[in-house]
Structure 1
Amino acid sequence: MSLLPTVQQLIERENLLPPQANIVIAVSGGADSLALLHILHRLAPHFSWQLYVATLNHGLRGIQGEEDAHFVASFANQLTLPVTVGQVDVATFAQSQRLSIEAAARILRYRFLADICRQIGARFLVTGHHADDQAETILLHLLRGSGVTGLRGMALASPLPNAPEITLVRPLLRVSKTELVNYCKTHQLTPRHDTSNDDTALLRNRLRHEIVPLLAQINPNIIQTIARLADIITAEDDLIHQLYQQQVQPHLYQDDARIAMPRNTFIQLPLALQRRFIYHACQQLNPYAMPDYAHINEAIAFAKNGQVGQWVLLSSTLRLRIDYDQLIIELCAAPLPTKGYFLLPSEQAYYAISPPVDIKFDTEGWRLIASFSPQKDAAILLLPDDAQILLRTRQPGDRFAPPMLSGHTQKLKKWLIEQKVPRHVRDRLPLLVVNGTIAAILLGETWIIAAPFSLDQTEQHASKRKLYLSVYQMAL
């Protein structure tokens, strides 16, 4: 069977590209992407597709890169297809982000292609990855000690990295490189040759030019054999993924900078699901800085035995942190979360309070009103007439008389730990101090009032006045 109906049947059988879709095709000018563009252009009338060509000069190959981009634009014009030519500086980006050239190029390439898809309203991006690429990818993952997910290789369709609303489609994934080269010859297509692909100092190129040909001497069907392996692993990986969705996913909390789950839940999981949680969390937060086998195993041991407030690096940009009953995987550069707490602006904050006062902490997004006049829903403290009132952060040696200790005090540090207040929050927590004694602590929106200053105290003297405290959230 010729290549055209093979690709068409795969697209229809797997529902890869629906009729009347807007489609962006990533074209470098090599045999793979050139054959892809030619095939999709021939199929477009049958499916009523609207095709759009995108090519990117990575700024790594000087005049050759410019000529490749010009070639793609000229070929697209011959097919009367719209085309966008982009250019980026991969080397500078790689240096600034401390990434390899390959990782930096991949990030900028997908970012460029995602932008094009959004501009024209396309939900599908098509690339020319083929069966030989799949074999190389699996071997590369194997050499790097990948888990099961890595050995399943590339999917026919998957969400575009960092742009999940766009589907990345690889309709040539079951077509060999030889078939694509022959297709180009048959249709008199003259693809460009990227000389950087000849550099065997790069691992993928060495696999392509040296290792795979050597394996083919042992097994002439090595490409198909690896493809079968990927198919088997994909089915088994899907089963593990189902278990993950059932046993792990319901317990996760996530925002833009971190993913958390209960520590006890993690400890009770099978090892395979523990590893998958760490891997998946890292992949969602930064897929270009993934932990290796050693880091994942170290993180699992740390999750079981580490202390509250400690953290361990997973990669250059990701870490695992223990926060009381939670395990948190987060971006190292992200500020530690303070949501749910009203905090003072600094660890040395110190304010003299002479009611009535209305203090606005603009940078922290809240305000405090203290008055001897009644306020609706306010916390109430009993104060002596000679009260000297301060609002400050904690200091060494601070002690507190919690409501449940009948006036007895304990170290403030111990009490905060018992209340599971995160370590990074404790040093900016608002303390109301009366005549040198901590009278109240603001936890969230609630004032925890020390026993000697509470309305519940058994000895209430007429000389004591009521102080009303109210806090309000403000827009930052």
Structure 2
Amino acid sequence: MKEVDEWLGELIELAREEGLWTAGDTVVVAVSGGPDSMALLHLLHRLSGAEQLSLVAAHLDHGFRGEESAREGEIVRGYAAELGIPCESTFIDMPAYIEASSMNSQAASREKRYGFLHGVAHTYGASRIALAHHADDQAETVLMRIIRGTGLAGLAGIPISRSEKNVELIRPLLRKYKADILRYCDLWAIPYSHDSSNGQKHYFRNHVRLDILPYLSAHNPQLPQSLARLAELAAAEDDWLAQETRAVYERHVLPHREGCQLNRKALLGLHVALQRRLIKLILNYIGLETDPSSFDSIETIRLAASERAAATWSLDAGGGIRFIREYDNLLFVRSVPGERSTSSSGYAYAVTTDVTSLMLPEAEGQLTFEAMAGSAARRPGNRLEALFDADRIQYPLTIRNRQPGDRMAVLGLNGTKKVQDMFVDDRVAPSRREVLPIVVDANGFVLWIPGIRRSALAQVTDSTKRVMRMKARFASDFNG
């Protein structure tokens, strides 16, 4: 029994290393009736006293195999009673549910199985659900993902623990192989059932287990061990990269309306691996949690930020997310159902001589109007401020977004210039062009575009007696 005693020591050491449980935890053990889960139940029972664990066995009959499934349930309930462990079991007519829901059998079974396990955990106040996945399952999972195509996260395979619905899913046998588990069952005379569906090759996993792995193992007898080791290495490196990506996100990604924004040069300053991971993290955070982004879409976004790509560019990233490049600003915007865009509706506000402040929610800004004596006026400190001869302004003013054909008599230039051309010259982001306020006088002449230019109209001279100081403030720097 020395070998099986070593199992207990190894399992306790693994639990300490991975934080699988703490003293006083209640653990729900998912028991199908096969050798893996029956061995897991027995192992946890043996160490429950020393580790101060309370155990609950949970068995679900999916109704796929009739009498065979019913016998498995009897074996589980009988063995749990023999060990003195409470057992919760139930029956679900999965064939009927699959037909009604139109889900594939594996996805439907997983949904119901985990729903049942979480229900048992809630009833008993359990903080852990123990699952009997082992090292051969891990090897099969990694090989399946390689065949289908995967990245580093996929190579990490099955995690030894992860949180789901405030419960930790733990896999204490993930580093033990099937042959070892069968030998353990024989040594302790543990009863178990054989699932006949494991031989049905129409399931991809079974095909991998029965055909592909044995064929490849002829070239490398240690292939399952190699794949399991690959998963462990990939999991550690994937976790480290995930931490680095979250740190980069905190440093460089800023909120922006219904999404977020990122400086293009900050992205390009990262290693290509972090570029891809950061883009994926952004997409996941703002709307693609249940719709994993593809490598192609992530790579398209990454390349759109390069020096060679167009300065203004947009892409439907899927999942209701739109990626927009506006010069050096990269926007990830989540569309809101039913919301009208500002560009389609426009805005316009009238300003009379007695108005001192105007909020502009469409532009996320504010304009202020301050009248003063000409002698008190000082030169504007920046382009978000402009001075006008108050007696030469034609009121009422209109503060609005741009319209087709808008032109300005630009100070210092002969003739007029298109507002659209001025936006392009000043690298105003296309999305901002539709909401940026324009100050227009009663005759329809453009007086000022805050942050861009003032016109040649109503200039302040030595003879000016009254000055109107206009100031603009915006929530963000629209020049990117």
Common topology (TM > 0.5): yes
Q: Deviations over 1:43-99 (max 9, x none)?
A: 333222345667789x9969899979987996898555486979897888888xxxx
For residue 392 of structure 1, the aligned residue among 388, 391, 400 is 400
Aligned CA distance change for structure 1 residues 52 and 418 (closer, same or farther; 3 Å): farther
**How far is the alpha carbon of 1:216 from its aligned partner?**
3.3
**How far is the alpha carbon of 1:330 from its aligned partner?**
6.1
For residue 349 of structure 1, the aligned residue among 325, 347, 350 is 347
**How far is the alpha carbon of 1:142 from its aligned partner?**
1.6
Native 8 Å contact 1:137 1:153 kept in 2:
yes
Partner SS for 2:150: coil
Native 8 Å contact 1:344 1:430 kept in 2:
no
Partner SS for 2:446: strand
Name 1:19's counterpart in structure 2.
23
Name 2:327's counterpart in structure 1.
324
Unaligned runs of 5+ in 2: 373-384, 476-480
**How far is the alpha carbon of 1:173 from its aligned partner?**
0.9
Q: Deviations over 1:169-215 (max 9, x none)?
A: 322110123444555665544458484x6554443332123212323
Name 1:458's counterpart in structure 2.
461
Partner SS for 1:132: helix
Q: Deviations over 1:257-304 (max 9, x none)?
A: 756543223334343333343444456564553344444444433331
Distance 1:257 1:92 in 2: 37
For 1:457, give the aligned amino acid: V
Name 2:314's counterpart in structure 1.
311
Distance 2:474 2:86 in 1: 58
Name 1:173's counterpart in structure 2.
174
Q: Is 1:412 matched with 2:419?
A: yes
Q: Is 1:146 matched with 2:150?
A: yes
Native 8 Å contact 1:128 1:171 kept in 2:
yes
| Larger-Rg structure | 2
Deviates more, 1:310-319 or 1:125-134: 310-319
Deviates more, 1:425-434 or 1:134-143: 425-434
Native 8 Å contact 2:311 2:327 kept in 1:
yes
**How far is the alpha carbon of 1:101 from its aligned partner?**
7.4
Unaligned runs of 5+ in 1: none
Q: Is 1:424 matched with 2:431?
A: yes
**How far is the alpha carbon of 1:15 from its aligned partner?**
3.6
Q: Deviations over 1:372-404 (max 9, x none)?
A: 999xxx9987475752333433211223578x8
Native 8 Å contact 1:383 1:453 kept in 2:
no
Normalising by structure 1, what TM-score?
Answer: 0.67
Name 1:40's counterpart in structure 2.
44
Distance 1:76 1:160 in 2: 29
Q: Is 1:10 matched with 2:17?
A: no
Native 8 Å contact 2:55 2:85 kept in 1:
no
Aligned pair count reads 449
Distance 2:17 2:30 in 1: 23
Aligned CA distance change for structure 1 residues 193 and 400 (closer, same or farther; 3 Å): farther
Q: Deviations over 1:319-346 (max 9, x none)?
A: 6442332345566x568999xxxx9695
Partner SS for 1:208: helix
For 2:305, give the aligned amino acid: A
**How far is the alpha carbon of 1:254 from its aligned partner?**
6.5
Aligned CA distance change for structure 1 residues 277 and 74 (closer, same or farther; 3 Å): same
Aligned CA distance change for structure 1 residues 301 and 371 (closer, same or farther; 3 Å): closer
Native 8 Å contact 1:401 1:451 kept in 2:
yes
Distance 2:339 2:366 in 1: 22
Distance 1:9 1:263 in 2: 46
Give runs of aligned pairs for residues 250-399 of structure 1, distance below 5 A. Answer: 250-253=251-254, 260-282=261-283, 286=288, 288-304=290-306, 305-312=308-315, 320-328=323-331, 333=335, 347-353=345-351, 382=390, 384=392, 387-399=395-407
Give runs of aligned pairs for residues 147-296 of structure 1, distance below 5 A. Answer: 147-157=151-161, 159-160=162-163, 167-181=168-182, 183=184, 186=188, 188-190=190-192, 193=195, 195=197, 200-233=201-234, 250-253=251-254, 260-282=261-283, 286=288, 288-296=290-298
Native 8 Å contact 2:254 2:261 kept in 1:
yes
Distance 1:92 1:441 in 2: 60
Deviates more, 1:110-119 or 1:410-419: 110-119
**How far is the alpha carbon of 1:4 from its aligned partner?**
4.3
Aligned CA distance change for structure 1 residues 373 and 123 (closer, same or farther; 3 Å): farther
For 1:433, give the aligned amino acid: V
Aligned CA distance change for structure 1 residues 383 and 390 (closer, same or farther; 3 Å): farther
Aligned CA distance change for structure 1 residues 205 and 320 (closer, same or farther; 3 Å): farther
Deviates more, 1:2-11 or 1:21-30: 21-30
Distance 1:118 1:369 in 2: 56
For 1:219, give the aligned amino acid: N
Name 1:434's counterpart in structure 2.
441
Aligned CA distance change for structure 1 residues 125 and 335 (closer, same or farther; 3 Å): farther
Distance 1:320 1:117 in 2: 41
Native 8 Å contact 2:367 2:472 kept in 1:
yes
Sequence identity (%): 26
Aligned CA distance change for structure 1 residues 219 and 22 (closer, same or farther; 3 Å): same
**How far is the alpha carbon of 1:459 from its aligned partner?**
6.5
Native 8 Å contact 1:90 1:104 kept in 2:
yes
Aligned CA distance change for structure 1 residues 360 and 387 (closer, same or farther; 3 Å): closer
Normalising by structure 2, what TM-score?
Answer: 0.67
Distance 2:353 2:52 in 1: 74
Aligned CA distance change for structure 1 residues 151 and 344 (closer, same or farther; 3 Å): closer
